[in-house]
Amino acid sequence: MLARGLCVLRSFRPGEPELPFSEIARRAEMPKATAHRIIAELVKEGMLERGERGLRLGMGLFMLGARVPRQLMLRNIAVPYAKQLHRITRGSAFVFIADPTGPDAVLVDTVRRTHGPDHGPGHGLAMEEMRASDRAATRIFHAFGAEDDTVVRGRAVHRDAETARARHQGFAAVRGASGAVGVAAPVLTAAGAAAGALAVAGPRARLEVAMAAAHLKTACAAVSRAMQRDPELVTAS
């Protein structure tokens, strides 16, 4: 039951505030009757909430996640650097940690740039910036995992040419469909594995990737040094 509940919660992806019941059941790969029963329990416990067009992650899940020590400490160290990146690049800045179940990105905090009237927070280009940053950070976690080939949720994850390039150059850049570009670099443990990532994003016409990558790598190196001085924050593998 616990594993099925986690499958339901992991159905939600960045930029998807609500999902219809049928899509959750499809992504969780379970019969609708089973999904209905599990969702009802998650709603009861505050892990999910019912919205106008479907279901969304609940406040109970947010409050539980906010208590994670690694998230809190990494956020405290990294957010000042994210704010600095926001000022330097004039783009949105993001702080990610690695999903403990595999090399995927989990958003911790955001410093958003000001968007025009047609691109308010949560819409249009702002949402595409978040997606591009998430994809870039996930590529970083794939590139800087503990093993060359890892097994995530029962399936092998191999480094492709893009993740190999990210490991070689120390950053990843992803271009979104709506004119946004996201750039991410790793926050590393002493063993060289990515425990977190910083990312910046903005319109392709305004965000210069090489310049953004240079600032990101400098900021991530500083965060990495701060983390490695605190053995309780990240244990090197």
Q: What percent of the chain has pLDDT over 70?
A: 81
Q: Which residue among 45, 64, 83 closes a domain?
A: 64
Residue showing tokens 């957010």: 79
| pLDDT per position as a tens digit, 67-96 | 666 667 788 899 999 999 999 999 999 999
| pLDDT per position as a tens digit, 186-209 | 999 888 888 899 999 999 888 999
Same domain, 175 and 76: yes
Q: Which two tokens stand for residue 64?
A: 């539980």
Range of the domain at 203: 68-228
CA-based nearest residue to 133, from 115, 156, 106? 106
| pLDDT per position as a tens digit, 137-165 | 999 999 997 544 444 444 444 457 888 89
pLDDT of residue 153: 43
pLDDT of residue 127: 84
Please give the mean pLDDT across all residues of the chain: 82
Q: Which residue among 33, 64, 95 closes a domain?
A: 64
Same domain, 20 and 83: no
Residue 237 is assigned to a structural domain of this protein = no
Same domain, 11 and 99: no
CA distances from 180 to 185, 220, 225 (A): 17, 22, 30
Cβ burial, residue 88 (10 Å; 0-12/13-18/19+): middle
Q: Which CATH number do you get for residue 9?
A: 1.10.10.10
Same domain, 85 and 159: yes
Residue 233 is assigned to a structural domain of this protein = no
Same domain, 110 and 22: no
Same domain, 83 and 175: yes
Integer Cα distance of 45 and 135 in angstroms: 30
pLDDT of residue 230: 67
Number of domains in the chain: 2
pLDDT of residue 236: 35
Same domain, 109 and 11: no
| Angle of CA points 105, 56, 38, to nearest 5° | 95
| pLDDT per position as a tens digit, 162-186 | 888 999 999 999 998 778 999 999 9
pLDDT of residue 16: 79
215, 52 in Cβ contact below 8 A? no
CA-based nearest residue to 234, from 197, 199, 198, 190? 190
* Sequence-ordered list of residues with C-beta below 8 angstroms from that of 214, at least 6 positions apart, any chain: none
Same domain, 9 and 101: no
Q: Which CATH number do you get for residue 100?
A: 3.30.450.40
Max mean pLDDT range (66-75, 114-123, 125-134, 146-155): 125-134
